[in-house]
Amino acid sequence: MQFPEYRARRLRRMENLRRLVRETQLSVDNLIYPLFVCPGKNVRREVPSMPGVFQLSVDAATEEACKAADLGIPAVILFGIPQKKDEVGSEAWHDGGVVQRACREIKKARPDLVVILDACFCEYTSHGHCGVLTEAGDVDNDATLENLGRLALSYGRAGCDVVAPSGMMDGMVGFIRDTLDEGGFENVAIMAYSAKYASGFYGPFRDAAESAPKFGDRRSYQMDPCNSIEALREIALDVEEGADIIMVKPALAYLDVIARAREEFDLPLAAYNVSGEYAMLKAAAERGWLDHDRVMMEILTAIRRAGADMILTYHALEAARLLARH
């Protein structure tokens, strides 16, 4: 007697049958490649906690972006490491800053490549927090919004396609949208880090971006990992304020949040496969504990399956090369 549960196996017995019934497709079109831009020339400095990831000078970042474009990756996101830091992160809105210059060079070399500029101050402030501090050491939300406006205008002048505010300030999306529109940059889109959790998975990023806080942590403005309903409220606020793309960060430990956001909202949804997720796989693969490429593709497919339309991932080049073979 043939039991009904065995019928599915008929469709699993060969690769082309599995392809025909595959529910989730991972494509190079889903990938966004993060780059860390630093001062200097011909700089390609590997991040010890992120094998294969580098701090790159403007010329090297432009070359790396062109590699991504050649592989069919549609977008890069840039993070800046400034020459100097101060209490308010003023280098972030300097028109001659590293990300502004890198944006101009990348758009000159590959006008078709989408350039996203991360909008936060943790890399630029001397204290490592994401905005202006009060005397009590708390982030001053409204003063930080004013500086985000200056930053957004600088990014618009640099020719970016998308501004990505990531500091989790209240009202940041609406403030940036109004500022961009008033400045004549109506066509610059906003990718909002709408549900950004106070996660332990960011450690290697802070090495790469040199952005670790000098005191305290960011739990007072980033989300509690215990909450998912709150994430929907945060996303809804950003949608109301004019976000074009919404994001959940991190990705792998928050697949349930990605799935809930996908069910609730019809805007394009991004997920950030963050530095700690990347570093864990690299470390395990180096020890021979995991098959790197297989697990990498499984992770990225899981993020897609949860509902993400686009994935910010340090694996972008590796994944694009594997996808090109199939």
Catalytic residues: 196, 249
Instruction: Provide the token pair at 8.
Output: 């599915």
Q: How many CB atoms lie within 10 A of CB 131?
A: 27
Hey, which bits of the chain come out as E strands? 31-37, 44-47, 50-56, 75-80, 114-119, 162-165, 189-196, 245-249, 269-273, 310-313
Q: How many CB atoms lie within 10 A of CB 271?
A: 31
CB 72 within 8 A of CB 320: yes
Cis omega (within 30 of 0) on the bond before 74? Answer: no
Query: Residue 171: enclosing H or E segment and its boundaries?
Result: none
d(CA 14, CA 17): 5
Residue carrying the six token digits 């300030």: 169
Report how far apart, in Å, the C-alpha atoms of 79 and of each of 117, 161, 254 are: 7, 15, 23
CB 67 within 8 A of CB 110: no
d(CA 240, CA 33): 28
d(CA 94, CA 80): 11
d(CA 44, CA 21): 43
CB 216 within 8 A of CB 137: yes
CB 252 within 8 A of CB 279: no
- Which of the 8 DSSP states describes residue 215? S
